[in-house]
Each structure stands twice: as structure tokens, then as C-alpha cells.
Amino acid sequence: MRFLVVGLGSMGKRRVRNLKILGQSDIMGFDIRQDRIKEASRLGIKTFSTIKSALEEKPDIIIISTSPDTHLKYVQIATKMNI
């Protein structure tokens, strides 16, 4: 399974750590903020600064960890791509 964590703030990084604890290794992350991308890359995941480039990696699962006001945007993207 390929996981894409959308939003790499404190909750997104927690999701990455939890996936690793569960034995998952194919984890990617996306955030619009460079400071969060830099921090999350220390967790050993591939990171992206655009959702388009992240989706080109063909994730199987998207975990949305953004602020609630942007959830719908990423749910619609995931639904449209059948993820």
C-alpha cells in the first residue's frame, strides 16, 4: 500500500509515525509549507510541495491531516481519482 499524508503539521507527522510503527514503509507526504516539508522529511518519507506531484506517485490511500476547512477540497480530489 502507498500512503499519502496530506498535511504535515503535528497531526500529519503523528500519522506518519503511526504508519511506520504499524510496519508501513511506502509513505509520502504533501504540504504547502516548506518548513513542514523539511521537518517531515526527517521522518524518512518522500515529500511534495504540490498535490499534483504527490498524486503522480499513485497513492492507494490518502490520509487527510489538514485543518478542517480544507478537508473537503482533498476529499473531492481523492474521490475524483478513486483513492
Q: Kindly give the confidence (pLDDT) of every residue in the chain, 83 residues in length, as a single tens digit, with 9 standing for 90 and above.
A: 999 999 999 999 999 999 999 999 999 999 999 999 999 999 999 999 999 999 999 999 999 999 999 999 999 999 999 99
CA dihedral 55, 60, 65, 69 (to 10 degrees): 60
Q: For residues 39 and 58, give the distance between their C-alpha atoms in angstroms, rounded to a whole number.
A: 23
Q: Which pLDDT score, from 0 to 100, does residue 78 have?
A: 96
